[in-house]
Structure 1
């Protein structure tokens, strides 16, 4: 069996480094997009008064940032749809479970006070 990366195959004198590795441009583009969304979040935090609408905007932008992080930095954008569904569907169910448990827990607290 022939190995191509033997320790003796490396030539330090004639080595030419790669100019750009695969996907670096896409990762930087995603980084700047996430930075812009985060700065917009900070601007909304200090400009808008506290309300449910502002909280909805924060949740929405948080989900958008999570989408880009999972797609670009975890390389899920380049995978098959079935693998993405295996990861995303249980996550959605767990979020629904947490919301349901919080709702039922607060209802139980109200029932105790009656």
Structure 2
């Protein structure tokens, strides 16, 4: 029984990391691969880990609870949308001193092409 059984066990122990269930970490900004305990991205400098204020355990940036002490992290505010409206004659309309005339011009601009 010598080394043959031992060799088979060694080959199983060297299985690729993806077969073991390990997941590669990447920077959320530039997609650079990062080591498990790397705190900042080596390419762009973005923060990869944050520290729990209660137990000082390092956790992923998108974590909502600490994996060690279950301390909750506040969720970031949702991104705000900014809407910019453009009108080809915007400068002209806003410079008019006659507000009635400006309103009429705005309404005319909203009509479909070819309509009276």
Give the TM-score normalised by structure 2. Answer: 0.22
Give the TM-score normalised by structure 1. Answer: 0.22
Question: Which protein has the larger Cα radius of gyration, Structure 1 or Structure 2?
Answer: 2
Which one has the bigger strand percentage?
2
Higher relative contact order, structure no. (Cα contacts within 8 Å, ≥ 6 residues apart)? 1
